[in-house]
Structure 1
Amino acid sequence: MNRFHGQDLHLYESGFEVCQPDKPFEFIPIDYFLLHYCVSGEGFLTLHNDQRHITAGDIFLILPNTANKYYPLPENPWSYRWVGVKGSMVKSILEECGFSYDNFVLHYDKDDTVLRCFQQIYERCTKSDYYTALGYLYQFFGTLTEKENSILLESETVHRQRLEKMIKYIYAQYTNDISVQSMADEFNFDRTYIYKLFKKEMGISPKQYLLNFRIEKACDLLCKSHMSVTEIGYAVGFNSFSCFSKQFCLKKGTSPMKYRKQFIK
């Protein structure tokens, strides 16, 4: 383990691994931010019950004190490099890069800059050259923020038109098992671009927008239809009644059944 201490930002650890096909699930409770860069192969990451398929060029973030598990695809096991960071400025720096609670996987395949930064951080740390290692960490962050800043450089009209298309997609498909990834696939947009666009124009993430829309549709059905509460949950796109009930309570402060009773004479 390599450490370079600083109040705002410091390196906590760095390393790399070429995984075997039978490598088991990993669950590592940590109190720092852990960044992985997938160099080759494939694997899966689950963070707060959200599973992502990871491929070469993906950078994924494991948040402090967050349940997580990740493992290689046996047919094409991944290799990856990682860097652990701590400090008072880390959260805001990562947000500038495009990371968030909902958006914890980014992709970079423009050139080998990210790979080189991860390699140099590790090599410099093994030589106790921590200042240079920290410099490469800043270069890594700079590369991602430059990519993120370039995402929204097109005209406001273009972004608005794209946002309208995605909102129409949600209106038409909310009853199905859709996600940010399905929108990315449908419109050939980067997940991060979609996240940034919704946050900028709507003030919330696309995942939250979809959830809010489903809850409002459920409210309408609870008031006006004779469908059972369970049927309504499935009808607005939830894959289980427990998930529907939990999210409804969080949004409305009451259960779907109690909400419905307000409108029964």
Structure 2
Amino acid sequence: MKDYIFSNDFYKNIDAMVLNSGNEVCAPSHAYGPAVRSSYMIHYIRKGKGIYVCGGKTYHLSANDAFLIKPGERIYYEADAQDPWEYTWIGMQGVKIESYLKRTSIFDDYVFSYPPHTELLAFHERLEEANRSWGMNQDLRFNGILYEYLYALCRAFPKADPGDVLKKEAYLEEILVYIENNFDQPISVGHISEMMALDRTYIHKIFKRKMGMSIKEYIVQIRMTTACSLLRYTNLSISDISRSVGYADVLYFSKSFRQKKGCSPSEYRTQKQTRTPSV
């Protein structure tokens, strides 16, 4: 199970992040699929022609057109045999990406065209330049460009009424922030439900759909991730660590830790603190 944590680390950001980006000059009839992607992607066609197949429809696209790929949806795209396309793409992931894209009309349309004299193409170019000059704080650079790009998409392709989407996104963020600030306390789904004055079944569905796990599972995951860090990098006693991650009963903490990690807290500490770093 993947650890979801609040972090500015490029590879652990659960909010929104650039997964990959690039540019490709395709050979005649070059194709991808049929297959599914694991993240959202937007391909912009710089020149040439091709087809995009999604949702049982075939779209014939050319220069200045773009197409959206959604995770888990079966897609196929192929460059024209006579005039193959060159495209640039942005891949993105995070728990907020879907809600951000749902603020635009492109989420339902799948294919669209960049408006004349748009700033949108500049973001592809900025990502390409960032890829060529990798350095410190690159996570902030990539993600800064992504947020600007998403904002530009919302301006260029506004959706009439994204209210319900924004409301659910706000609820999810409130839950995540509350857990992050209170996981060392005896919190539960009931506590969160009362704090937000919302039905517990409703917030459970919102959370499970976005995060792929229940609120209870997420709380345990945050606690165990923090416990592992404390075991490895501090000399705090097991009981101190137990209380620091929300377990008043150290025996229950040890039992839960063993269930998740396959060893006791003491065994985990010994394994991690005595491991010789690889060169």
Report the TM-score, using the length of structure 2 for normalisation.
0.49
Corresponding position of 1:10: 17
Equivalent residue for 2:64, pick from 57, 66, 70: 57
**Shift, 1:122, TM fit:** 2.8
- Contact 1:39-1:79 at 8 Å conserved across structures: yes
Equivalent residue for 2:125, pick from 102, 119, 137: 119
Is 1:103 the counterpart of 2:109? The answer is yes
Rounded Cα–Cα distance in structure 2 between residues aligned with 1:111 and 1:70: 27
- Contact 1:122-1:133 at 8 Å conserved across structures: no
1:16-71, Cα deviation, whole Å (9 max, x unpaired): 10111132343342211111111111110001211111121122111101111000
1:171-201, Cα deviation, whole Å (9 max, x unpaired): xxxxxxxxxxxxxxxxxxxxxxxxx67x89x
TM alignment of 1:37-56, pairs within 5 A: 37-56=44-63
**Shift, 1:113, TM fit:** 2.0
- Contact 1:44-1:53 at 8 Å conserved across structures: yes
Is 1:73 the counterpart of 2:76? The answer is no
Corresponding position of 2:28: 21
Corresponding position of 1:237: none
- Contact 2:65-2:112 at 8 Å conserved across structures: yes
Rounded Cα–Cα distance in structure 1 between residues aligned with 2:65 and 2:99: 20
- Contact 2:17-2:146 at 8 Å conserved across structures: no
**SS of residue in 2 equivalent to 1:122:** helix
Corresponding position of 1:137: 146
**Shift, 1:112, TM fit:** 5.0
Rounded Cα–Cα distance in structure 1 between residues aligned with 2:118 and 2:54: 27
- Contact 1:36-1:59 at 8 Å conserved across structures: yes
Residue ranges of structure 2 left out of the alignment (5+ in a row): 1-9, 163-279
Q: What percent identity do the matched residue pairs reach? A: 25
Rounded Cα–Cα distance in structure 2 between residues aligned with 1:5 and 1:43: 35
Corresponding position of 2:238: none
**C-alpha distance 22-99 of structure 1, shift in aligned 2 (>3 A):** closer
**SS of residue in 1 equivalent to 2:31:** coil
Q: Relative to structure 2, which stretch is displaced further, 23-32 or 139-148? A: 23-32
- Contact 1:97-1:141 at 8 Å conserved across structures: no
- Contact 2:66-2:111 at 8 Å conserved across structures: yes
- Contact 2:15-2:95 at 8 Å conserved across structures: yes
**C-alpha distance 88-73 of structure 1, shift in aligned 2 (>3 A):** same
**C-alpha distance 84-6 of structure 1, shift in aligned 2 (>3 A):** same
**SS of residue in 2 equivalent to 1:145:** helix
* Number of residue-to-residue matches in the alignment: 150
Residue ranges of structure 1 left out of the alignment (5+ in a row): 150-195, 201-265
Rounded Cα–Cα distance in structure 2 between residues aligned with 1:20 and 1:44: 14
**SS of residue in 2 equivalent to 1:88:** coil
What amino acid is the match of 2:43?
Answer: H
What amino acid is the match of 1:92?
Answer: S
- Contact 1:21-1:76 at 8 Å conserved across structures: yes
1:88-114, Cα deviation, whole Å (9 max, x unpaired): 1101111112222x4111211322522
Q: Relative to structure 2, which stretch is displaced further, 122-131 or 55-64? A: 122-131
- Contact 1:43-1:72 at 8 Å conserved across structures: yes
Report the TM-score, using the length of structure 1 for normalisation.
0.52
Rounded Cα–Cα distance in structure 1 between residues aligned with 2:105 and 2:87: 20
Let me know the Cα RMSD of the aligned residues. 2.2
